[in-house]
């Protein structure tokens, strides 16, 4: 079993829809949780970053962490065609000192006009 | 604005060739990372470095080596390229005071 599980998609939605992207994990030592967005043939770019449990909002994006269920989510409101990309979750343990990240395989999102 | 750059966007090499992939970061950080990304497998850590001339194996180091002669530069070396090393290679480095890793644009390597 992989340490981080993520549905590969593709997830197809119409413009304006609310999108929910999710990851589950097995390592209870993970404390830092990140979402990256990766456009085709580009490197991943950091979208959201949260520490421990709770919610974090940034514009149309909300990241949610539920450590008791080992489950993290990224919500995108009013989705746009420009949101079409692959979304990668990543996480790391606290106090590693080396920021070693473990990634999900990525979910491909397609937002149609 | 943080910046991680990689020497090539696309590279085509023949089996058995020695391949150098270079990465430069301007964040003055001690840590740098090399990943490869393959469909269905996600990003996997090959090697990382936590200081000049210091290196640690990641999850899939076989067939690779690295060099860190200067703080800002981290090179990935394929001693004898093989077709199963055809992949997207990504370099990353954190910002100064956080766990947020920033990635370069990637090098898509094809070994024929």
Query: Do the chains contact at B43 and A103, CB–CB below 8 Å?
Result: yes
Tell me what pLDDT residue B6 has.
95
Using the CB atoms, write b or e for A30-43: b if 16+ within 10 Å. bbbbbbbbbeeeeb
- Residue A96: is its pLDDT beyond 60? no
Give phi and psi for A81, each to the nearest 5: -55, -30
Q: CA nearest B88: which of B104, B102, B72, B100?
A: B104
Contact A32 B102 (CB under 8 A): no
Residue range B60-83: mean pLDDT, rounded: 96
Most A CBs within 10 Å: which of B31, B87, B101, as the mutation test of the A interface? Answer: B101
d(CA B3, CA B105): 10
Mean pLDDT within A62-88: 96
Mean pLDDT confidence for A34-42: 92
Q: Which of B41, B43, B100 sits opposite A49 (nearest CB)?
A: B100
- How many other CB atoms are there within 10 angstroms of residue A81's CB atom? 11
Of chain A, the percentage scoring pLDDT greater than 90 comes to 72
B102 touches chain A (CB under 8 A): yes
Report, as an integer, the average pLDDT of A40-46: 90
Taking only the tens place, the pLDDT of each residue in A86-95 is: 999 999 886 4
pLDDT mean over A14-33? 94
| Peptide bond connecting A10 to the previous residue in cis, omega within 30 degrees of 0 | yes
């Amino acid at each position: 079993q992989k340490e981080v599980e993520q549905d590969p998609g593709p997830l197809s939605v119409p413009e304006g829809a609310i999108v929910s992207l999710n990851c589950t994990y097995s390592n209870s030592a993970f404390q830092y949780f990140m979402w990256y967005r990766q456009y085709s043939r580009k490197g991943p770019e950091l979208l959201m970053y949260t520490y421990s449990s709770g919610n974090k909002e940034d514009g149309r994006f909300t990241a949610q962490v539920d450590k008791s269920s080992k489950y993290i989510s990224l919500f995108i409101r009013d989705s746009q065609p420009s949101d079409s990309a692959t979304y990668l979750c990543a996480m790391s343990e606290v106090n590693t000192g080396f920021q070693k990240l473990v990634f999900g395989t990525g979910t491909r999102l397609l937002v149609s006009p | 604005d943080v910046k991680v750059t990689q020497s090539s966007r696309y590279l085509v090499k023949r089996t058995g060739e020695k391949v150098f992939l270079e990465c430069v970061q301007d964040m003055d950080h001690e840590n740098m990372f090399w990943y490869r990304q393959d469909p269905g497998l996600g990003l996997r850590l090959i090697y990382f470095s936590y200081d000049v001339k210091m290196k640690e194996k990641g999850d899939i180091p076989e067939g690779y080596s690295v060099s860190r002669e200067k703080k800002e530069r981290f090179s990935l070396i394929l001693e004898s390229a093989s077709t199963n090393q055809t992949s997207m290679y990504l370099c990353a480095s954190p910002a100064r005071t956080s766990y947020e890793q920033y990635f370069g644009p990637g090098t898509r390597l094809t070994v024929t």
